[in-house]
């Protein structure tokens, strides 16, 4: 006789990623307060970003364990709608002033995250027709980039969709995640090399033409400020006050348009290490995720696209982006609550121990 016993479909992989995430995000918040203590820094922006990631991650974990496909689809459509709204805001700001407000970074990031969420849903669902529809939603995010005039949004969203298709054939997730980490390192290293003016002249001129001279000058100001205040930085949200380039701009948001360089200028080397640790925590959580490899690598490619955009823009300055990134990371690391019955053979009763046998 078989007795049905319920057990989780997916094997638990421990809570170490959650502990690491709590420590890293806590350190980010505490260090922002420490850096601001001796200066006139304003840590509210950093604290809000940490809170947004934490809240998004928690909501993603909960919804991902209950309704993973529906939750990922909802996140994709919400991010797509937010990108359209951000694009309209940027267009209005461009008409009002000579220089755009920089919402283009938010548009591109939201489109990449939208494509990633849609492809995660497609990788998690079984019916072929539904999977095809969800893939088309991911492509819709890329097409929306063209319609909104965001070349970065188009290329990053398309790259996420292509990476998602390739992830279906990758058996070792750690190899894929290592490749994504390497790609992020190359982008960050390239931006730092441009700021330090260590690249060959021809390559440097070409990159400056793509990045715009104003952005490169902001990066160089950040390097100079970081060199003068290597440990604590000048305090959160103070770069705009101390940057000569930002002071001379007709319209400025006070940002470096590079998350690593802004951390270096405002929070010193410790801030840069904590930013890298936050990205490493996301990859570590994906590496330990109970979700299937295609879901994990698709989410990883989307978060890597965000990291690349944040290295050359101000994508992380927008709460909608940080919340969506947290949601996607939570969805891709959630432990499904579904259980299945497993037949376990009942042990035979020993002789003389039937239902009516005495115990003694």
**pLDDT tens-digit series, residues 256-278:** 999 999 999 999 999 999 999 99
- Predicted pLDDT of residue 351: 47
The pLDDT value recorded for residue 261 is 95
pTM: 0.86
CB within 8 Å of 162: residues ≥ 6 apart: none
Which ranges of the chain would DSSP assign to H, the alpha helix?
16-37, 44-66, 68-96, 104-124, 128-147, 151-167, 173-196, 201-211, 213-228, 239-242, 244-248, 259-287, 293-311, 319-332
274/269 Cα distance (integer angstroms): 9
- Confidence band of 248 (pLDDT split at 50, 70, 90): confident
- What are the φ/ψ torsions at residue 150 (nearest 5 degrees)? -105, 95
Mention every residue, 6+ apart, whose C-beta is less than 8 A from residue 8: 335, 336, 338, 339
Of all residues in the chain, the percent with pLDDT exceeding 70 is 84
By mean pLDDT, which of 9-13, 125-129, 213-217, 280-284 is the weakest? 9-13
Output the pLDDT for position 103: 65
Q: What pLDDT is attached to residue 236? A: 93
């Amino acid at each position: 006789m078989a007795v049905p016993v319920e057990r989780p479909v997916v094997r638990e992989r421990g809570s170490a990623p959650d502990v690491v995430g709590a420590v890293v995000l806590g350190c980010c918040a505490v260090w922002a307060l420490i850096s601001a203590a001796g200066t006139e820094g304003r840590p509210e922006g950093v604290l809000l970003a940490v809170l947004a990631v934490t809240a998004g991650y928690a909501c993603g974990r909960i919804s991902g364990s209950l309704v993973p496909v529906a939750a990922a689809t909802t996140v994709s459509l919400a991010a797509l709608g937010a990108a359209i709204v951000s694009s309209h805001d940027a267009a209005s700001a461009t008409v009002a002033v000579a220089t755009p407000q920089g919402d283009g970074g938010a548009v591109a990031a939201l489109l990449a995250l939208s494509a990633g969420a849609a492809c995660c849903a497609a990788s998690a669902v079984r019916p072929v027709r539904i999977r095809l529809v969800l893939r088309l939603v991911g492509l819709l995010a890329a097409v929306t980039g063209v319609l909104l005039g965001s070349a970065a949004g188009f290329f990053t969203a398309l790259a996420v969709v292509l990476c998602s298709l390739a992830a279906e054939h990758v058996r070792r997730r750690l190899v894929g995640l290592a490749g994504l980490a390497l790609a992020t390192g190359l982008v960050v290293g390239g931006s730092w090399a441009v700021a330090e003016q260590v690249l060959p002249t021809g390559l440097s001129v070409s990159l400056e033409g793509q990045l715009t001279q104003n952005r490169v000058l902001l990066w160089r100001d950040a390097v100079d400020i970081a060199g003068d205040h290597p440990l604590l930085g000048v305090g959160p949200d103070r770069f705009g006050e101390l940057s000569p380039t930002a002071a001379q701009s007709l319209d400025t948001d006070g940002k470096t348009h590079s998350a690593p360089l802004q951390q270096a200028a405002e929070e010193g080397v410790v801030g840069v290490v904590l930013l890298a640790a936050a990205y490493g925590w996301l990859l570590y959580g994906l590496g330990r995720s109970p979700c299937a490899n295609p879901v994990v690598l698709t989410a990883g490619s989307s978060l890597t696209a965000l990291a690349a955009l944040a290295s050359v823009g101000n994508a992380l300055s927008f709460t909608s982006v940080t919340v969506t990134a947290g949601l996607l990371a939570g969805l891709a690391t959630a432990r499904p609550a579904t259980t299945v019955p497993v037949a376990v053979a009942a042990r035979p009763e020993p002789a003389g121990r039937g239902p009516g046998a005495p115990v003694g």
